[in-house]
Amino acid sequence: MINMKDKYNIIIRFFNNKESIRSITRTTKLHRETVTKYIREHEKQLKELFKRKGKPTEKEICDLIKEPKYKQRITPKRKATPEIISRINELLEINKENRKMGLYKQQLKMMDIYEDLKLQGHDIGYTTVCGLIKEMSYKPPEAFIRQTYELGSDCEFDWGEVSLRINGKLKKFQMAVFTSCAGNYRYCRLFEKQDTASFQEAHARFFEKIGGVYKRIIYDNMRVVIKKFVGRQEKEPTEGLLKLCTYYHFEYRFCNVRKGNEKGHVERSVEIERRKIFSKRIDFESLVTANEYLEEFEDKLNKKRPVGCEKSSFEILELEKKYLLPAMPFFEVSKVVQLKVDKYSTISFETNRYSIPDEYVGKCMTVRIYPTKLKISYNEENLCEHERLLSHHDWQLNIDHYLRTLQRKPGALAGSLALKQMKISSISGRKLKKIYDDYYKEFGKEFVELLQYIKEKETEKPRDLTIKEIENAIKKLAPIKSGDILTDKIIVVCQKAQEEMEGSKDQPNYVINEIGKASKNLLKEVSNFLGFSNAVTEKEEAA
């Protein structure tokens, strides 16, 4: 088959260079009939072009310069008899009826149809059957309609899966993703599970972040929003979704089944957020730090202006805010359970144990379960709060909960899990663990007294400030032997430092000195105005 370059060589050599057909055939090594065909065809087209008066049509020009093509030979399907086509149609209709009844997993495949035809004695190949089925089942490809959105009208929601390493353990987390339709503003939040509590908290945090509520949220057919299907099209929403809509006054819309393109903004956002934010870093101390990192990185992405856009997503959100529904107080709904405190002064939830103040051993606690925390109360009195553990069969102990017991059993302190966990609980916990390792390894009872002192001071000042005062007191006592740095001396130094700081402003001399300074400044200004500045300076120096 010759190409456009071959055709060009034939035309130019014959019409411009006046070469003979024999010469062209010899030099191009093309068949004589092929060369003759394209020359005669070109002559005929030129004659018609010049014979016709006026401007040539576009078709005539295209025919003159068209690329050489061979006619495709269409051979009839000799094996596809009317009986075979009729039988395939019958089997395809069976598939159609099964789909109507929801029997999507009971469909005849191409191989099943081929085997049925062979059992009936038809002589036909498998590839021929596949070709016939594709022709008979052909549907035109779907077209998409570009949409425009009003400011503050629509927002899309979806879940995505992210793998992170928390404290060295690789675990999969669920990422709730919101994307506004008008400006592509994105908000994400990581959760341990894809449950109703996480779904509700994600919405509450998103609305709190933007300071308003979109008029309509678009969802796909996820379990947390659809309770059940009613017929082929209608869907019954879950109670969790209805509570959110009632509280925040927004409407909801569900996509059609297997139509992710109907919420294309958020589908793309899941992939972008996961790749851009968590491709370079996956190691975090906790889920809290991972969410902090996610929010910080996400704000940078929202403030970045995309190529070809006049405004960033953040700037468009600022314009949208006046069109949003008014903000509501944070939506906080929890699952409430009753759990009994065991002999270790802990409650057990989902195989993990959380500490309770030791005076409540044997009592029944009211525990409010949130996606990321547990709030524990007794007789409507809030006792403590714990960050929800992501592992299984683990313990989360607060040493303050065991001070009453440790005062009676100080020997149990050194090997206690609560003391070991102080090192990883917080910055203040690490500081206290260092103080214990440096000065209190042999003085467990005194260390318990120090912890009791810190706990009592929490009503007056933050724990970090008290620990800082203790560290300063230890520095003052450092020249003395390390064995003498005990709790009673630390408390005395701390109290003395507090009294000196408070007494410096309460003493009468302090007030007199302040009045004296103000009087001198006023006298100096008047003297400068009257021209007696030197005399006043001499008097001040004499004083």
- Give me the helix-helix angle, 487-506 and 508-530, nearest 10°: 40
Q: What is the CATH number of the domain that holds 289?
A: 3.30.420.10
Domain boundary among 300, 323, 346: 323
Closest CA to 30 of 56, 58, 1: 1
**Does one domain contain both 375 and 299?**
no
Quick check: is 54 in a domain? yes
Q: Are residues 269 and 128 in the same domain?
A: no
CB proximity list for 510: less than 8 A, separation 6 or greater: 504
The answer to whether residue 459 sits within a structural domain is no
Helix (H, G, I), strand (E, B) or coil at 461: coil
Asked if residue 34 is part of any domain, the answer here is yes
Domain stop point among 16, 36, 65: 65
Instruction: Let me know if residue 488 belongs to a domain.
Output: no
* Residues 318, 352 share a domain: no
For the chain, the C-alpha Rg in angstroms (whole number) is 41
* d(C-alpha 104, C-alpha 271), whole Å: 29
284 and 200 housed in the same domain: yes
Each residue's pLDDT expressed in tens, for the chain with a length of 543 residues: 788 888 888 889 888 888 899 998 998 888 999 889 888 888 888 888 777 777 777 887 887 888 887 777 766 777 788 899 999 999 999 998 988 888 888 899 999 999 999 998 998 899 989 989 998 888 888 777 777 788 989 999 999 899 999 888 898 999 999 999 888 899 999 998 888 889 999 999 999 999 999 999 999 888 888 888 776 667 888 998 999 999 999 999 888 765 655 566 667 778 887 888 888 889 998 888 999 999 999 999 899 887 778 889 999 999 999 999 998 998 887 788 999 999 999 999 989 999 999 999 999 999 998 888 899 999 989 999 998 887 788 999 999 899 999 988 988 888 889 888 876 667 788 888 888 888 888 888 888 888 888 888 877 778 788 888 888 888 877 766 555 667 888 888 888 877 777 665 555 554 445 555 555 665 565 455 545 444 444 444 444
Same domain assignment for residues 256 and 346: no
Specify the DSSP element, H or E, that contains 309. Answer: none
**Helical spans, DSSP H, in 120-157:** 126-136
pTM of full prediction above 0.75: no
Count the helix, strand and coil residues of the chain and give each as a percent rounded to the nearest 5.
Answer: 50, 15, 30
Beta carbons within 8 Å of 375's beta carbon, 6+ residues apart: 334, 367, 368, 382, 385
In the beta sheet, which residues pair with residue 162? Answer: 173
| Domain containing residue 44 | 4-65
- Phi, psi (deg, nearest 5) at residue 116: -65, -40
Number of domains in the chain: 5
Residues 301 and 167 in one domain: yes
Question: Do the Cβ atoms of 452 and 401 come closer than 8 Å?
Answer: no
